[in-house]
Structures are given as structure tokens and as C-alpha cells.
Structure 1
Amino acid sequence: MTKHTTAFTVAALSLALAAGLAQAASLAPQQARITDEAIYRDHSTYQATQDRIQALNDAGRPVRDYALSKAQCWLDVSFHEYTRNDRSDFPQAALDESEKLIVAMEQGVSPIPTDTPLVNGAARLREDLWKRLGAMHGTPGFACAQQAVACGEVELVHAGNEFNQQQWRHSKPYIQIAEDMVADAEAMARTCDTGQGAPAGPMQLTANVLFEFDRRGLADVREHSLGTVDRAIERVREEGRTITAVRLVGHADRMQGRGFDYNQTLSRDRAETVKAYLVGQGIDPALVSYEYRGDTEQVQSCEGVRDRAVLHECLLPNRRVEVRFQVSK
């Protein structure tokens, strides 16, 4: 067993002990949340938990700290769903995660594990976003991005819980929040001044252009997803960087009504559409290359969705062109 593993194990055991002690932040049973008295007690529980987070901050733990941020975001999503009359176990489970972190910080546990449990059986949506968030852990830029990383992870769990309860239409707003947090975290990591100088080598920005079902033209692109490309280009300019290459990767969803080869062609045509858009935005065509992968790399499975229109909407993140900007200082 390595020194690092031993330290992590000790921290995990300490956190488990802390979790066992964390029993104060308990909400009224679901069936009891119908009286003013029960709701008042629950609001008092939320306020007491918020006060503990504030006390940790007052004692010197910065707001941007990963564990403090994550405790706050778990508390926020718990309260959000409580006020929406969520009768599932999610509000209590999210509150428990907040309190586990609070107790660990109060007891000086170090390091605090960074796992993000899928509470209440939340679906694990958007593996691509999970990977992008995970890639920032342990990097120098994480020092600046940790708040956005922590909250992005919590919002993905929030989205997965909503997907289980009310399917894609209700999870979609929280996925979009998570997407914005991922982009913000990556931007903060790139521009982070850690005192070690600028990161060596090229850096990457990622945006996804999303297409309507079985469509490939520019008029068939979801407008908000083109906005992510425009914001990425603007960020490059704001950061004083230069785009040195753009790699496009076209995809299709898993619906194979016309076969594998059709989806391959569809993903290629989508990549070509996005290339034309970038050239129209002033990107040198010589910098842009593309590949296409058909339906071989799904980021959202939508298992259990039966209604065809709802399924098409749920599979939207798979009908994408990944736009990977390579930038340098």
C-alpha cells in the first residue's frame, strides 16, 4: 500500500465516521411535510446547515474551496427540490451529502474524498461532462476552478435525479446548468495564476453543436448550441490567445432506422456543416479538420424512455458535433 493510498484510506475512514455522527440535519418524513410546524422545522434545519457553512467560511475556508463549495451546492439542490415539493428521498439524501462534508471540514479531515455519489439512485447522465470535470482534478488550474467543478458535479446528479422522476424534459435545465459550469471551470483553469507560470503547450476548449433528429443543415442546429461555439471563440479573444487548430468530431444518435452506414454519413455531413459555419465566423479553413463516428459514441442512453418524441429529445446530446479548439498563448 502506497503512502498516498494510506492517506486516502485514513481520510475515507474519518469521513465515514463523520457521516455516522452527522444526524442533526434531518427533514420531516415526506408524509409529514404538510403542516406549518413541520415546514418551519425543516426551514430551520436548512438555515442551521447554512450557518455551519458560513462558520467554516468565517474561520478561513475560502468560498472557492472544493469541499465547501460542494457542501453549499448539495444544500442548494436539496432546498430547491424541497421547495418544489419533491416527495422522494432526494432532498434528504442531498442534505446528508452536504452535512457529511461539513462534519469532515469541522473535524479537520484531510484529504476529503472527492467522490460524488448518485444519491437517490440518480441516473448518470452525460458521461462526457463527467469526464471533463474529472480531468481537472489534480491539475494546477484546479485551484481556480474547484468551485465550478464541485457544483457542476452536483448539478449532474441533480439532473440524473430529475431524469429518473420525470424524464428528459425536467432534467434538461440542470444539464444546461452543468454544461455552463463545465465551460466556466475549464476557462478558469486555463487562466489560473498559480504562481508557476502559464501552462506549457496548447490548451483545448470544447463546445458541442446539436442537431435536430435526422437533420444535418445549419438551419437544423439548436440555436443555443451555436452560442456555445460563439462564446468559445470570444473567450479565446478575451484571454488573448490564438486558435491554432480546430478538430470536429461528428456524431449521430443510436436510432438506426436507416442503418449504420446512414448514421456514419449523417455524422460526416454534420461535421461539414459546422466546418462551413466556423469558416463563416472567420476561422481559417486550413486550421479545421474533421472526423465522423456515426452512432458509436453515445453520451446519453435514455434507457426506459418509450414515447418516440420524448426519446428523440432525450437523445439530442448524441446528435452532436464536438468542436475542439486548440489554443495557445
Structure 2
Amino acid sequence: MKTTTFSLLLAALCISAQAQTTVTTLTPPAQRISDKAISADQRGYEALQARIKALNDRGRPLRDHHLAKAQCWLDTSFHEYTRNDRGPWPQAALTASEELVKAMEAGRSGLPTDTPLIADAERLRPDLWQRSGALRGHAGWSCAQARAACGEVELVHAGHEHRQLGWRHAKPYVQIAEDLIGEAEALAAQCTPPAPAAAVVPAPVAAAPVVAAAAVPAAPAPTVVTAPLLFAQVVFRFDGETLADVQPGALVSLQALLQRVRDEGLVVQSVRLDGHADRLNNTGRADYNQLLSEARVKAVQQYLVAQGIPAERIRSEAFGDRQPREACGAVLAGQRLRDCLLPNRRVGVVVEARKP
């Protein structure tokens, strides 16, 4: 994820992180033309990063929903600032981060879990918002909350990009949101919920002294299964079904996954492949999209086997066009419609691995 380098860099800075009442304000875009102005903005980012680190140092876990969201607002702000974004996003996202930080520093309880649509962002992908919202009632929410928080931030980021520059600029952030919310769902499913507290049965009245019952131990905190879950996605061109038909750069996440397995010496326990197609079908064959999704799964499976993954550890399922990620409006047609439906032409990859 793009936040890693920035977070590690700023976490190393030794800056006092005390609760502040001032608002961090970036230099107006038109005035960001000198080293002095940019350095001042950099110090603002560093100071807010230090405050987030201080909250963690005082015991707020990194997987906490609000701490994770504050970090992700900050990261997206810095990402766009370094790309010389002269629009409202860098300041709006920075302010959203700081508001959460102030509330956590003040020890406020009952912080809102919703994610606001800042900087005039559109609300893209209602299905992803619904899936993320459903996780709040899941027994494994404690394990999923950080990924869900950042997934929603990226959805807002995508909605802003779509409003400002159109779908081509929004797509990368929609993809990040898809991956994060998918990871959150997997983590929730793998999370062991707290054991129910044992009922306390009153001791019967007796003439003899009653021996005090042993104290019921506290329920264990939720834990995550130790096997790492790794995620990737391969997206295909329209009507494509072989690796030669994969979108440019669409193997990067899968290649990165395999490289991590090699670098960390992980042992692959299982692989799940989910194949999908978009709704378009001009062939007259009712089963065309189903067969297309099956062929895409087969292509990715063959690639994984060629990379050394045992075939017997790979499970696959093809869904045809039954599980779209992007609906796309009825007013679109031709190439614009095919571009819009790109996220539906995919194979999702989930790898469960363990350390030796």
C-alpha cells in the first residue's frame, strides 16, 4: 500500500506530540512556489504524524478504527500534495485527519464511525460502502476495522478524483478500496471472537460454610489466525481470457504477492481464485460470461503453478457476471461502457500462508 514508505519515514522523526488547539493549514496552492513554503507544509505533516505516533505510544492500537482512519486521511493528503495537487483534497484530508487526532487526544468517547464525503467527493461504489458498513456488526470487526477504515477513505478519495478529473483518475483508488475492503472481510472471517462469559450460578444455601467458587477467568481478547492472508487481483481486457489479455500492469499485485512469499520464506497453505466477467455479451450464448470467467481462473491457476505453487492447494470458483463490482449507468455505451466495467473482468487471489 502506498502509505508504508511515508509512514516509516515520518515515524522516525523525534518531534514532540502534544494535544494542540491550532489547525494545521497548508500554504495556499498558488503560493507553493518556494522551498520555504514547501518546508513549512512538510513540518505540518511531520507534526501531525508525530501526534498519531504518540497516540499509539500511549496504547491506542494500530488496528483501532479511528487511529487507522486518521493515518489514512493523512497519507492520502500527503500523496496528493507530493503530486502537486492544487485542488482541495490535500487540505481537506489533512483537516479530517487532524479532527480525529484532536478527538482521540482529548479522550472523547463515542467517536463517529462514518466516513464523511470531503472535498465535494461523489459517493462511488455503493456496494463497497454497504460491505464495509456490514462489517461493523460482524463478530470479527476488531480484526477488520483498520482495513475497513482505510478502504472507506480511499473510496472518498476516488469520489473526489472522479468529480475533479473523471473515471480514469478515480480507478486506481477504487481498486485500492476494493482490495482493502476485501482484506477486511477476510480478516473478519479469520478473527476469533471473544468467548462468551460463563454464567454465574448462585451457590445453594447450606449450613456448612460455603467454599467460594473459583473466579471465572476473563474472556480472551480477539486474536487473528497467525497464517498471513495475502491478496492480489488480475484484471483482463474486454473479452480476454489468457494472460496475454491481462491489462497492462495488472499482474503487478500478484507478482508482488509471490515475491513476498519467496522473500519471507512463507509456506503456501491454500490459494483461492474467484473468476468474474462483466455483463456484456453479444454472442447470443447464455453461458458465455460463465465460460469466460472459468477461462480466466484457469489462466491464473496455470500461472501460479508455473511459479511453483502446488496445483492441489489451489481452489477456484467462477461466477460469470453474477458478482459485479461496478454497475455502470445505462447511459454509457461503447468504449466508455467497457472502460467503466473494467473492475468486473477480474480474478481475485487470496493466499493463506504460514511461516516455517
Please classify the TM superposition score into its range, dividing by the shorter chain length: 0.5 to 0.7
User: What does residue 326 of structure 2 align with?
Assistant: 299
Q: CA deviation at 1:89?
A: 0.8
Q: Percent same amino acid among aligned pairs?
A: 43
> Take 2:316 and 2:120, find their aligned partners in 1: how far apart are those partners?
41
User: What does residue 69 of structure 1 align with?
Assistant: 68
Could you say which structure has the greater relative contact order, defined with CA pairs below 8 angstroms and 6 or more residues apart?
1
User: What does residue 13 of structure 1 align with?
Assistant: none
Paired residue type of 1:319: R
From the superposition, tell whether residues 247 and 174 of structure 1 become closer, same or farther in structure 2 (CA, over 3 Å): closer
Paired residue type of 2:345: R
Deviations 1:281-317 (A, max 9, x none): 6778xx86655447x95615389989x6566444311
Residue 52 of structure 2 contacts residue 67 of structure 2 at CA under 8 Å; is this kept in 1?
A: yes
User: What does residue 23 of structure 2 align with?
Assistant: 24
Residue 209 of structure 1 contacts residue 229 of structure 1 at CA under 8 Å; is this kept in 2?
A: no
Paired residue type of 1:215: G
From the superposition, tell whether residues 158 and 227 of structure 1 become closer, same or farther in structure 2 (CA, over 3 Å): closer
1:315 to 322, 341, 345: 341
User: What does residue 103 of structure 2 align with?
Assistant: 104
More helix by share: 1
Aligned-pair RMSD on alpha carbons? 4.6
- State yes or no: 1:212 paired with 2:211: no
> Take 1:65 and 1:143, find their aligned partners in 2: how far apart are those partners?
8
User: What does residue 289 of structure 2 align with?
Assistant: 267
From the superposition, tell whether residues 266 and 167 of structure 1 become closer, same or farther in structure 2 (CA, over 3 Å): farther
User: What does residue 178 of structure 1 align with?
Assistant: 177
Report the structure number with the largest CA radius of gyration. 2
Residue 275 of structure 2 contacts residue 320 of structure 2 at CA under 8 Å; is this kept in 1?
A: yes
Paired residue type of 1:86: D
Q: CA deviation at 1:88?
A: 0.8
Structure 2's unaligned 5+ residue stretches are 1-19, 194-219, 225-229, 352-356
User: What does residue 15 of structure 1 align with?
Assistant: none
> Take 2:79 and 2:113, find their aligned partners in 1: how far apart are those partners?
23
Q: CA deviation at 1:61?
A: 1.4
From the superposition, tell whether residues 289 and 166 of structure 1 become closer, same or farther in structure 2 (CA, over 3 Å): closer
Residue 115 of structure 2 contacts residue 152 of structure 2 at CA under 8 Å; is this kept in 1?
A: yes
Output the TM-score relative to the length of structure 2: 0.63
Output the TM-score relative to the length of structure 1: 0.67
From the superposition, tell whether residues 181 and 22 of structure 1 become closer, same or farther in structure 2 (CA, over 3 Å): farther
> Take 1:86 and 1:124, find their aligned partners in 2: how far apart are those partners?
21
From the superposition, tell whether residues 134 and 241 of structure 1 become closer, same or farther in structure 2 (CA, over 3 Å): farther
From the superposition, tell whether residues 84 and 293 of structure 1 become closer, same or farther in structure 2 (CA, over 3 Å): closer
> Take 1:305 and 1:32, find their aligned partners in 2: how far apart are those partners?
40
Paired residue type of 1:271: S
Structure 1's unaligned 5+ residue stretches are 1-20, 200-204
Secondary structure (helix, strand or coil) at the match of 1:120 reads coil
Deviations 1:68-113 (A, max 9, x none): 1111110111111112111111111111211221122122222211
